[in-house]
Amino acid sequence: MIVLFQMLVEGVAAGSLYALAAVGFALIYATTRTFHFAHGATMMLAAYAFYQAVTVWQWPAVLAVALAVAVAVAFGVGVERLVYQPMRRTDASFLTIFAASFGLLIVATNVVVLLFGNSFYSVDSTLSQGFLVGPLYLSWVNLLSVAVALVSITALQWFMRRTRTGVILRAMMDDAALVGVFGLGDRRYGMIAFAIGSALVAPAAILTSLNAGLQPSMGALLTLLAIAGAIVGGIGNLWGAALGGLLLGIAENIGVWQLSSTWKPAITFGVLLIFLMFKPDGLLGAATRRS
Amino acid sequence: MIAYIANLGVLLGIAVILASSLNLMVGYAGIFSVAHAVFYGVGAYAAAKVALGVTDSFLLATAVAMFVSGAVSFLLAVPVLRVREEYFVVASIGFQVVASTIFTSWHAVTGGMGGLAGIPPARVLGWQLTSPVEYLILTAVCMVLVLAFIAVLVKSPFGRALKAFRDDEVAATALGKDPLALRVAATTISGALAAVAGSIYAFHVSFVNPESFTLDYSVMILAMVIIGGAGSLAGPIVGAVFITAFPALLNFIEMPSRYVGPVEQLIYGASIVLLMIFWPNGLASVWRLLRPRRPVQAAGGGTER
């Protein structure tokens, strides 16, 4: 039973990071209608930038975190500006944009493989230690994951409700063309959505590298988790996406309690497939069925 | 040297079959799937099982493989195709991941990571295949049959209805066609055709294990379709040649071996991105543009949204 609770703790911590990634994906998708498959590449690049700064260049942690965020935002905005926007202008189909995004993920992953190799890196930090609460072991990274996710998502909630930019982004979620009619230029706001969505994966990148280490395949995996979280939560609903990410983290870790860890990805996608079959609108989403 | 070229030819033929059968979904039905290696794998395992346990007849093993793989894709398609296209992409990746886990973990049937070894050489109509050249001939015959079948299929009323839905779902529905039934049929046929490639592979290599049917390979098959040009007959063939020939070309460039894989993937990833921005109809459309009398049709997959 204690094992179950321990797994629950790990699940909530992992799920908090998935939630950040899923919210970022959902924000980008809902505002710009871009199925940003390279979202995980953003995370991977941020993680490797953080690793390079902290362990190779020996930068102080604050600067390394700033670099990771900067890399994430630069990649997200750059891709929107240089790849997606030109394609949207020519009215490219969903599948064309998806294919380009897919290609970007392959390119980013292999650039990292060429620079850093395929092997596993870890970042030493006192944060990966922890303490016992009764029989449960809590690590600082896990606590930090939950705290960062809560703060970021609350801040986003406030931003979307209380600022002018946030209101315009929400209007884009409802009807991007109409926002364009008001002369608010969805190009600029598309880049803002990409900047925020990409910045949200930076904490996930940093905390994952502290907790589980780095590997080039982490990008593709996180893309899948982010999308799965967004779908389970109900696409088009940011808070649903957060919930979906959290749920996947918990399901994954509780599943590992009963099955071997080779089943971890299969559990995530088992949950996803079940949702797609029986509740394709997700937990909090609007109707999405074909016809 | 002849054996090397023959083996490369067999791999190329397999790639052409896989890419062309996936094109039926991506290019004609407007369904993006990243799970084609699963159907290839199911076909290979089914053929291997028949060859090891029942008979070494290639035709019989292939028929069983096509049936099993078609059934699996049917079971995937029925519930999942009801959701929107962007969800199907993700569902197919999920399906690929779950299937890969099953390939490695279901020891009783798949032999786990060790796979199934000692598959006997294929027998076709009483003829025992032994040399790589004989396998090349077999592959070429299968490839031509599959391509001919697809060519006839996409020109049939069924193919035209598929394209109608890809281009305008509302208009096609107004004509009284059932999109779900059409898409399920396309997915099932596509899965069954991929099994032909699986069966050839199993007999040719005489060994199957999960490493040949991974997500990476599914991505590669999809890359062939996209790079060559979805929605045309020539596209997947061009794409399959491009992606299969490339590693062979890279062999001639001096490079530390650990760089070969990533450089290869980098090149086809970058090709996809650049083609999608500047030439979304793929490499094959370049050739079509050179023949001015025929109008260039938009074939970059589905056009809804």
pLDDT of B304? 41
List chain A residues with CB under 8 Å of B297.
none
Q: How large is the average pLDDT for residues B18-23?
A: 95
Nearest CA in chain A to B229: A96
Question: Per the CB < 8 Å rule, is A265 touching B80?
Answer: no
pLDDT of B296? 47
Is residue A231 less than 8 Å (CB to CB) from chain B? yes
- A73 or A271, which is more confident: A73
How far is it, in rounded angstroms, from Cα B45 to Cα B67?
Answer: 12
Question: Per the CB < 8 Å rule, is B179 touching A104?
Answer: no
For A72-86, A181-195, B268-282, which range has the lowest pLDDT when averaged over its residues? A181-195
Is the pLDDT assigned to residue B299 strictly greater than 60? Answer: no
Q: 3-class SS at B293?
A: coil
Within a domain: residue B81?
yes
Within a domain: residue B292?
no
pLDDT of B301? 46
pLDDT category of residue B289 using cuts at 50, 70 and 90: low
Question: Hey, how many other C-beta atoms are within 10 angstroms of the C-beta on B257?
Answer: 7
How far is it, in rounded angstroms, from Cα B258 to Cα A96?
Answer: 31
- Its CATH class, for the domain covering A2-278, is mainly alpha
List chain B residues with CB under 8 Å of A99.
222, 226, 272, 276, 301
State the average pLDDT for chain A: 85
Question: Hey, how many other C-beta atoms are within 10 angstroms of the C-beta on A121?
Answer: 15
The domain ranges of chain A are 2-278
Within a domain: residue B280?
no
> What total number of domains does chain B contain?
1
For A215-229, B135-149, B213-227, B276-290, which range has the lowest pLDDT when averaged over its residues? B276-290
Suggest the residue from B82, B101, B219 to mutate for an interface test with chain A (most A CBs closer than 10 A): B101
Q: How large is the average pLDDT for residues A34-53?
A: 92
Chain segment B191-224, per-residue pLDDT in tens: 999 999 999 999 999 899 898 898 888 988 998 9
pLDDT of A185? 66
Chain segment B212-259, per-residue pLDDT in tens: 898 888 988 998 998 888 888 899 999 999 888 877 777 777 777 778
How far is it, in rounded angstroms, from Cα A243 to Cα A234?
Answer: 9
How big is chain A, counted in residues?
291
Structural domain span for residue B184: 2-214
pLDDT category of residue B305 using cuts at 50, 70 and 90: very low
Q: How large is the average pLDDT for residues A127-142?
A: 81
What are the DSSP calls for B128-142, one per residue?
Answer: EP-SHHHHHHHHHHH
Is residue A119 less than 8 Å (CB to CB) from chain B? no
Of B82, B87, B261, the CB nearest to A231: B87
For A82-86, B11-15, B62-66, which range has the lowest pLDDT when averaged over its residues? A82-86
List chain A residues with CB under 8 Å of B97.
224, 265-266, 268-269
Nearest CA in chain B to A79: B273
Nearest CA in chain A to B78: A277
The distance of B291 to chain A (nearest Cα, Å) reads 24
Chain segment B80-108, per-residue pLDDT in tens: 777 767 778 888 888 888 888 889 888 88
pLDDT of B10? 92
Suggest the residue from A106, A114, A288 to mutate for an interface test with chain B (most B CBs closer than 10 A): A106
Question: Per the CB < 8 Å rule, is A276 touching B79?
Answer: yes
The distance of A163 to chain B (nearest Cα, Å) reads 30
Is the pLDDT assigned to residue A80 strictly greater than 80? Answer: yes
